[in-house]
Structures are given as structure tokens and as C-alpha cells.
């Protein structure tokens, strides 16, 4: 858009209703998947209100300053910059997480990993308590590999109060965001943050290893395979899985064989078409373990589950 062209929203008056209508039209023309929701989230953010307030007061006129701020956000969204980066946060597993361009934006499908981890950890903790009622069991140990925003580590620390969590990431900037999110949700005292490659920062075996690692084939980090929101803006370090999207997963599974306790579980989110190959990789590394691929709600195999044998 050139300076000589009128902004599509500026051609309307400044009431909330007309701003939302014009913004929705601009975002739809730009190819955004959810133009109405995006416009509402960005206007609510600009006005420091919630979305329901917008519908209660559709005829309220915004100030010149708020209009200018809103137009900038709409223009950036029209360039397909993700809403989560524009407003600085994203909901995940009922919690709100700060996100930045240094971190992957949390996805709803990753909640399958969290739900599976919580159920397994709770059952394991109960079993240990029943087996040694007189003994003081050590804290249940969880490691989140490639923690990013910390959404998995923080959710597990919130939901599994007996757990001691280690959050690992190769990016120091991502770890800073994860630490901030842990502090916001008051679990920073139970999460240790370590910078490094996959499981190399670990010092001893753990009960549960979870990860949403990079698993995208680098050849697919372009249009039309991935959306502009992903291939233009999200950190490539968190997406590029190497050859066929499996290089990082392959290394992680191999390392997990050395760091997973007997009776422990390994959970790795994978691409929707990678299940058969990843299952064979895990079976080769864990020949006596129970290995399965768990489907998401759409029926796609999205979660590698390895239940390690007990010696």
C-alpha cells in the first residue's frame, strides 16, 4: 500500500463496528484464515478490552491514537504476521503464555502430548507411592526437550505438583521466555532451565521425557506446504527437522535410550505422516519397550509413545 492510497479502514468512520467490518474485509482479501477473529483480537488488544466488550459497545468511536495503532496491526497481520506475535501471547492448555518470534507459537494439537504425559505421570506417582508406602520417594522427574515458550514444561509443572521439571532448549532467548512464563504461572521454583542440544545437558536418567521437536522437512518450509505465518515468521530452529524432517527426532530417540529410566515414558510429537517411520526408529532403540503411535482427534498419528520396560 502506497502513501497515496487511502487505507481501507480509514475510508470508514471510527466506530468499533465499522472498524471491525473493514478490517475483516482487508484480512480476508489478504488470505488470512480467520479474519473476523483476528480483527477482534487485534482491536481488543489495542483498546485493552476483551472481545465481548467490543460487541457490547459497537457504536463507540475510537481515538485517533488507537485508530493509528490498530491500523498498523491490521497492516502487519495482512502481511501474515501471526496474531500471537502481534499481541504477545497465546493460550495453551487453559493457561496464557507470552510468546515472541524466538519461540514457536503453541498449537492445540500439542495438548495431546500434555494430556498423555499428565495421565502417565499421575499413574506412575500413585504406583510408586503404593509400592513404598513407608519410603520417601524422590520427586518425579520430567524433562521437556526444546521447550520454546515453556508451554509444555509449565503446564506439566502446574498439573503434576509432585514433579521436578527440566526445560531444555538450544536457544538462550527462548529459555528466557520460558523462564518468564514459569514465573508468571508460579512454577519457576520447580523448573530448571538448561541451554543445550536435545538431552545432552541432562546429568542423570529421568522418569518422563517429552518433546515437541522440529519435525518439518526443510523442503516443505515454503509455500504452499506451510502457511506464510509459519515459513516467514516462526523460528526455523524450532521447525526444521533436517532430512525428511526426521534428523532431530532420530537423534532424540537415540539419546532417550540412555536417559529414560526403567518404567519411564518417552513422548514425542511428530508430523502427521511420520508415524510408521518413527515407530520403527523407536522399536530399534527400545526393542523391549511398548511402542505405539497415538492419533489426534482428526485421526492422524501425531504422538510417539514409548513405555520403557522395567528391569
Q: Which three cell numbers stand for residue 96?
A: 496464557
DSSP for 164-224, written as a single string: EEEEEES-HHHHHHHHHHHHHTT-GGGEEEEESSTTTT--S-EEEEEE----B-GGGSSTT
Residues 290 and 223 in one domain: yes
- Assigned domain for 122 exists: yes
pLDDT, greater one: 4 or 10: 10
Whether residue 209 is contained in a domain is answered as yes
What is the band of 4 on the pLDDT scale with cuts at 50, 70, 90? very low
Q: Tell me what pLDDT residue 137 has.
A: 72
pLDDT of 129 reads: 82
User: Same domain, yes or no, for 75 and 112?
Assistant: no
pLDDT digits (tens, 9 = 90+) for 208-256: 999 999 999 999 998 888 999 999 999 999 999 999 999 999 999 999 9
Q: Does residue 71 sit in the same domain as residue 117?
A: no
| Region of residue 299 (left: phi > 0; alpha: psi -120 to 50; beta: else) | left
| Percent of the residues in the chain that have a pLDDT greater than 70, as a whole number | 95
Q: Which of 58, 79, 100 is the last residue of a domain?
A: 79
Whether the pLDDT of residue 3 is over 50: the answer is no
Examine the domain organization and report whether 146 and 56 are in the same domain: no
Residue 1 in this model has a pLDDT that exceeds 70: no
pLDDT tier for residue 2 given thresholds of 50, 70 and 90? very low
170 and 264 share a domain? yes
Q: Quote the CA–CA distance of 23 and 39 in Å, as a whole number.
A: 6
Which of helix, strand or coil describes residue 291? strand
Domains contained in the chain, number? 2
Give dist(CA 59, CA 238) in Å, integer.
Answer: 43
Distance from C-alpha of 165 to C-alpha of 179, rounded to nearest angstrom: 12
**CATH for 228:** 3.40.50.150
Q: Specify the pTM.
A: 0.92
pLDDT band at residue 12 under the 50/70/90 scheme: low
Number of neighbours of residue 226 by Cβ within 10 angstroms = 15
* Residue 7 confidence class, pLDDT cut points 50, 70, 90: low
Same-domain status, 137 and 214: yes
Q: Which domain holds residue 39?
A: 16-79
Q: Kindly state whether residues 117 and 171 are assigned to the same domain.
A: yes
End-of-domain residue from the set 79, 97, 123: 79
Dihedral sign of CA atoms 202, 205, 208, 210 in order:
positive
What does the pLDDT average to over 88-101?
97
* Residue at 32 is within a domain: yes
The domain boundary, picked from 35, 61, 79, lies at: 79
Q: Determine the distance from the C-alpha atom of residue 96 to the mean position of all C-alpha atoms in its chain, rounded to a whole number.
A: 11
Residues composing the chain? 311
Q: Are 277 and 230 in contact (CB under 8 A)?
A: no
Least confident of 5-19, 81-95, 247-261: 5-19
Answer for the pair 263, 310: CB distance below 8 angstroms, yes or no.
yes
Instruction: Indicate whether 89 belongs to any domain.
Output: no
Average pLDDT value for residue range 29-38? 97
Amino acid at each position: 500500500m502506497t502513501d497515496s492510497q487511502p487505507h481501507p479502514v480509514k475510508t470508514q468512520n471510527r466506530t468499533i463496528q465499522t472498524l471491525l467490518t473493514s478490517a475483516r474485509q482487508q484480512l480476508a482479501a489478504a488470505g488470512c484464515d480467520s479474519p473476523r477473529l483476528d480483527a477482534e483480537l487485534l482491536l481488543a488488544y489495542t483498546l485493552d478490552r476483551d472481545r465481548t466488550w467490543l460487541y457490547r459497545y459497537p457504536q463507540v468511536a475510537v481515538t485517533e491514537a488507537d485508530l493509528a495503532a490498530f491500523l498498523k496491526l491490521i497492516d502487519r497481520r495482512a502481511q501474515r504476521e501471526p496474531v500471537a506475535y502481534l499481541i504477545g501471547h497465546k493460550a495453551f492448555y487453559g493457561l496464557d503464555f507470552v510468546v515472541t518470534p524466538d519461540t514457536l507459537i503453541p498449537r492445540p494439537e500439542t495438548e495431546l502430548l500434555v494430556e498423555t504425559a499428565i495421565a502417565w505421570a499421575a499413574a506412575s506417582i500413585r504406583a510408586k507411592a503404593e509400592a513404598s508406602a513407608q519410603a520417601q520417594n524422590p520427586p518425579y522427574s520430567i524433562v521437556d526437550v526444546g521447550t520454546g515458550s515453556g508451554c509444555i514444561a509449565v503446564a506439566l509443572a502446574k498439573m503434576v505438583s509432585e514433579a521436578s521439571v527440566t526445560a531444555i532448549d538450544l536457544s538462550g532467548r527462548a529459555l528466557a521466555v520460558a523462564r518468564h512464563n514459569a514465573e508468571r504461572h508460579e512454577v519457576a521454583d520447580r523448573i530448571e532451565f538448561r541451554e543445550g542440544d536435545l538431552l545432552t545437558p541432562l546429568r542423570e536418567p529421568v522418569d518422563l521425557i517429552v518433546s515437541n521437536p522440529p519435525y518439518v522437512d526443510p523442503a516443505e518450509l515454503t509455500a504452499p506446504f506451510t502457511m506464510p505465518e509459519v515459513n516467514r515468521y516462526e523460528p526455523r530452529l524450532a521447525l526444521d527437522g533436517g532430512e525428511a524432517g526426521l534428523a532431530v527426532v532420530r537423534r532424540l530417540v537415540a539419546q532417550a535410550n540412555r536417559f529414560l529410566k526403567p518404567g519411564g515414558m518417552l513422548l514425542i510429537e511428530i508430523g502427521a505422516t511420520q508415524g510408521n517411520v518413527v515407530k520403527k526408529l523407536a522399536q530399534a532403540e527400545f526393542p523391549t519397550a511398548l511402542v505405539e503411535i497415538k492419533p489426534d482427534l482428526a485421526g492422524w498419528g501425531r504422538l510417539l509413545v514409548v513405555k520403557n520396560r522395567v528391569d
